Amino acid sequence: MAESIIYQLNCNQRHDKCFYIKLKKSKAHIIILGYNNRRYYLLRSLLASFHPISSGWVGENIFLLSESSLYILTIPSFTLVQVPLPAYKIIDILFFSFEKGYIYSSIIDPDYIDFYFKSNSTSDIKIASYKISEKKTLFFKSSSLQFEPCIILNYLKEFKIAHEQNIYDIFNGHKLKIVHSELHSKISIDENCITTVFGCIDRGFFFGEKIIYTYSSLIQPSTVRMHIANVSTVRNSINNQSKKHIFSISYNDNNIASPFYHLSRLEKTKKGTIVMLHGGPAARYSNRFDQMAYSLANAGYSIHLLNYPGSTGYGYAYQKKLYGNAGTFDCNAVISYLNSLSQKDASLPLYLIGDSYGAFLAILVLLKASKNISKVYALNAFTDIRYQFLFSNARAVITKYFPEITSTKIRQINPIDLVAKGQLKDCLLIINGLDDLYCPKEQLIQFQSISGCDVILMPNYPHYKIDPAETDKITRIILEDMRGKRE
C-alpha cells in the first residue's frame, strides 16, 4: 500500500517557481522549488495542518483550499493568511486582492464553469458562466462590482485547450503538449515527441530549462519527474519501467457494456473478481494510481474498473446519455458487464465496490440483479434520491442526472422504494462518514432498518478522500469482510 501521494503540481506564470503537495503519514508537505541562473533549488518546504483539496498560483502567491478553510500562502514571507471561504467548490482562483476580494471558478454542473466574486463583506456574486459543450460565455453585469472580463477570457483560452484532456504549456515561444492514450502519455515540444511514459501525467509545465510533471499508473504511485526540455536533441523513447512489476494491466473498449481497465497479479490463483464503479458520475478511471484498486489486486483479486455511461473522456454523447436517465442506462450497462464476467468464471466470488454515485449504482444493481453478486461494498453512498434532493449538498447532481423528483420513475430506481424487509442482510456493507454532507447518514440508518444491511459510520471520514491512511483503513475493512474476519 502507498505510504505517500504527490499531487497538485503547479508552476507560476514566469516558470521560475513551482510547488507540489506530498501527503505522508497523514501530514501535508508543501514543497516549493525555484529556478535562477540555470540552477534548481528547494525554495521552501512547509508542513500544513490540513489536507489541501485544491491549490494553485494566484499571481505570485499560492492558494490552498481545505474541506473547511481557504488560505493564501504569501511569497516570499511564507505566511498563511486565512480568507473568507466561498460558497461553492473552488477549481481555480483567477484574481486575488487582500483589499478587494477574489474571483474564482467553480464547476457545479459538469456542463458549465461558473465564475464568482467573493469579498470580505459580501456573499458570492456570480459574474460569468461558460457552457462547455457550446463554448459560449455569458457575463453578468453588477453595479457593485468592477472587473476586467479579460481575466475570465484568458482563463477560458487555456481551459478550451485543456478540455481536450491533453496538457499544454507555452513559454519562450515553445509549446509543450502532453497527449494521453488509454495506457500511455506522450510528451512533445513543438510537435516533436521527446518521450512516452507508461501511465497518466496529471500536470506538466515548462520549468526553467526542463519540463516538470507528475505521473502515476495503476501500479505506480504518483511521483515528480523533470525532463530536459532541449528541442535540439529531441529523442523518442518509451519509459515502461512500471511494467516490470508483477502485475498485468489492460484496457478494453470493445465490450458491449462499457470501456474498462483490468488490473491483476500475474499469479494464476485468484481469490475473486471485483468490479469497481467510480463516483461523479462525471468522472472516469484511467491508467493512474488508485490506491484501493492496487491494494485489492495485490491481495490476489482480479480488479475491473468500469467506465459506465456518464463517464467522461468518451465524447459528450456518452456523458450526456445519463442526463435525466440515471439508474437506467448505467444500471443496465453494469448488469450486462457482470453477466459477462459470471459466464467466464462462475467459480470465483464476484464483488462490487462503488464510491459516492457509484455506491448508489452498486446498491441499485444489487437490488435488480443480485444472483451473480457475492457482496456489494458501498462507500460514501446514498440510498434515497428524494432525501438527497431535499437535504444534501449534492442536490445539483440529483437535478442534473435523475428524472423529475416528483416523477413516478423515481420509485423504479430509488433503493429505499425497492428494498424489501431484510433483503440485503449479509450481502451489502455501507461505509460512510459520520458527518458526510453530500450523503447524509439519516437516509442510511433508515435504509439499514428495512434492508438488514450493515452500515459503518466513521468519524473524520471525508466524502472526498485524499489521505492514503484513510483509504488503507477502508480497504482493510473490505478485505477482512471478504475473508469473513471482520468483527
For 437-483, the pLDDT digits (tens) are: 899 999 999 999 999 999 999 988 888 777 788 888 999 999 999 98
**Does 218 have pLDDT greater than 50?**
yes
Q: Please tell me the pTM assigned to this model.
A: 0.88
Among 181-195, 225-239, 429-443, whose mean pLDDT is lowest? 225-239
Nearest to 25 by CA among 46, 51, 7, 45: 51
**CB contact set of 57 (below 8 Å; sequence gap of 6+):** 10, 11, 12, 13, 17
**Does 328 have pLDDT greater than 90?**
yes
Question: Cell triple for residue 331?
Answer: 444500471
Q: Please tell me the distance from the alpha carbon of residue 473 to that of residue 486, in angstroms, as a whole number.
A: 13
| pLDDT tens readout for residues 9-23 | 999 989 999 999 998
**Secondary structure class of 410 (helix, strand, coil):** helix
CA 67 to chain centre: 15
The residues facing 126 across adjacent strands are 116
Question: According to the model, what pLDDT value does residue 266 have?
Answer: 83
Domain ranges of the chain: 1-83, 246-482
| pLDDT tens readout for residues 256-297 | 668 999 999 887 668 899 999 999 898 899 999 999 999 999
CATH class of 246-482: alpha beta
Per the model's pLDDT, the better-predicted residue between 245 and 36 turns out to be 36
Map grid coordinates 506538466 to a residue.
204
**Structural Rg of the chain based on CA atoms:** 23
Question: According to the model, what pLDDT value does residue 163 have?
Answer: 52
Question: According to the model, what pLDDT value does residue 383 have?
Answer: 97
Angle 420-426-429 from CA coordinates, rounded to 5°: 90
Question: Cell triple for residue 79?
Answer: 505566511
Q: How confident is the model at residue 154 (pLDDT cuts 50, 70, 90)?
A: confident
| pLDDT tens readout for residues 388-416 | 999 998 898 899 999 999 999 999 999 99
